[in-house]
């Protein structure tokens, strides 16, 4: 099994996800529930994950699966531990309100390291993917493809930051540090969810940081950012499977921004 084979499957999974989610986007009969953690879930989230789980069971029956909506499935692979990590719709709140900034996140971890991923945002007409020996790529709305590279900005005063949710920064007790950082940089925005990280990989944003994430929110973002030349860590140390607060940068700014929060 090569990385190209696995990436081809991940892209196929993204096609399946796009067809289901886009059909339910702005549907008048969209069913929305509140999960125990107070986050929303729609029938589209569940339908996408069920479809991807079924395809993976058919194509990679020995692999494990971590999914946001239906939990984990342990595979029987006797070699390297292969785990697919899926967020069927990242940005469910946007999805249910008719905001087109949402995506399906699909990643493959081998022996605990996420090696390849696909992020597909059909309502934006965009897709991003990355794998070893292939690099990080995007498909633009016109169908053209281009390789991704983070920015070369090395000075905070010229940097652009996307921070996501202010309420979560307040709840974390680190809002003062975020405000301190904002005073040192050129521009702050809250593009939200997966999109901030894709803009980082494209070189349009230089720093992304946010709180209250799970492994399925993070996994697919890491290969795309790192293979575009960026750096990904926890906000207070190395990135692990338990990380919930993250910092991603164009690598040049990482240590300086990390120091602001530590």
Contact 122, 100 (CB under 8 A): no
| Residue tagged 């230089």 (tokens) | 206
d(CA 88, CA 217): 10
Q: E strands, the chain, where?
A: 32-34, 40-42, 64-67, 71-73, 82-90, 103-110, 113-121, 126-131, 135-139, 145-147, 160-162, 187-189, 207-210, 231-234, 246-249
pTM for this predicted structure:
0.93
Asked whether residue 130 carries a pLDDT value surpassing 80, the answer given is yes
pLDDT tens digits, residue range 90-120?
998 898 899 999 999 999 999 999 999 999 9
222: left (phi over 0), alpha (psi -120 to 50) or beta: alpha
pLDDT tens digits, residue range 168-210?
999 999 999 999 999 999 999 999 899 999 999 999 999 999 9
Opening angle at CA 63, ends 57 and 65, nearest 5: 80
Pairing mode, strands 160-162 and 187-189: parallel
């Amino acid at each position: 099994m090569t990385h190209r084979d696995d990436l081809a499957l991940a892209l196929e999974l993204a096609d399946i996800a796009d067809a289901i989610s886009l059909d339910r986007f702005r549907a008048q009969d969209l069913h929305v529930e509140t999960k125990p953690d107070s986050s929303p879930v729609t029938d589209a989230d569940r339908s996408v994950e069920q479809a991807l789980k079924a395809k993976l069971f058919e194509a990679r029956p020995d692999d494990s699966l971590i999914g946001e909506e239906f939990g984990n499935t342990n595979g029987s692979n006797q070699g390297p531990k292969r785990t697919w990590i899926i967020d069927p719709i990242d940005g469910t709140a946007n999805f249910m309100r008719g905001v087109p900034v949402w995506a399906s996140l699909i990643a493959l971890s081998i022996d605990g390291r996420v090696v390849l991923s696909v992020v597909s945002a059909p309502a934006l007409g965009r897709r991003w993917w990355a794998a070893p020996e292939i690099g990080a790529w995007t498909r633009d709305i016109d169908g053209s493809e281009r390789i991704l590279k983070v920015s070369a900005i090395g000075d905070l005063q010229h940097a652009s930051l996307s921070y996501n949710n202010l309420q979560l920064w307040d709840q974390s007790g680190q809002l003062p540090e975020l405000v301190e950082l904002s005073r040192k940089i050129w521009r702050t925005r809250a593009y939200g969810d997966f999109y901030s990280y894709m803009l980082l990989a494209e070189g349009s944003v230089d720093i992304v940081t946010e709180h209250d994430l799970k492994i399925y929110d993070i996994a697919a973002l890491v290969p795309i950012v790192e293979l575009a030349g960026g750096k990904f860590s926890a906000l207070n140390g190395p990135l692990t499977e338990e990380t919930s607060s993250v910092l991603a940068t164009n690598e040049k700014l990482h240590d300086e921004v990390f120091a602001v929060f530590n």
